[in-house]
Amino acid sequence: MNEVTAFWILAAIAVIGALFAIRKRNLVHGVFSLLVFFAGLAGLFLLLLAEFIAVVQILVYAGAVGILILFAIMLTDRVTGKDAFRVTSRGSFWGTIIAASVFLVLLLPTIQEIPQVDNPSNSEEIVKQSTVKALGKKLIHPYVITLEILALLLTAALIGAVTAAQGGHPAKKKISIE
Ranges within 49-68 binding other proteins (CB under 8 A)? 49-50, 52-53, 56-57, 60-61, 64-65, 68
173 is an interface residue for other proteins by CB under 8 A: no
CB of 14 to other proteins, least distance (A): 6
Our CB check for other proteins shows the closer of 114 and 171 to be 114
Q: Which of 9, 48, 105, 144 binds other proteins (CB under 8 A)?
A: 48
CB of 177 to other proteins, least distance (A): 15
Site string for other proteins, 96-135 (x = CB under 8 A): x-xxx-xx---xx--x--x-xx--xx---xx--xx---xx
- ∠ CA 11-132-65, nearest 5°, is 50
User: What distance in Å separates the CA atoms of residue 128 and residue 22, rounded to the nearest whole number?
Assistant: 39
User: What distance in Å separates the CA atoms of residue 80 and residue 126, rounded to the nearest whole number?
Assistant: 48
26-51 exposure pattern, b = at least 16 Cβ within 10 A, e = fewer: bbeebbbbbbbbbbbbbbbbbeebbe
| CB atoms inside a 10 Å sphere around CB 85 | 7
User: What distance in Å separates the CA atoms of residue 30 and residue 38, rounded to the nearest whole number?
Assistant: 12
Three-class SS of residue 88? coil
Near other proteins in 133-162, by CB under 8 A: 134-135, 138-139, 143, 146, 150, 153-154, 156-158, 160-162
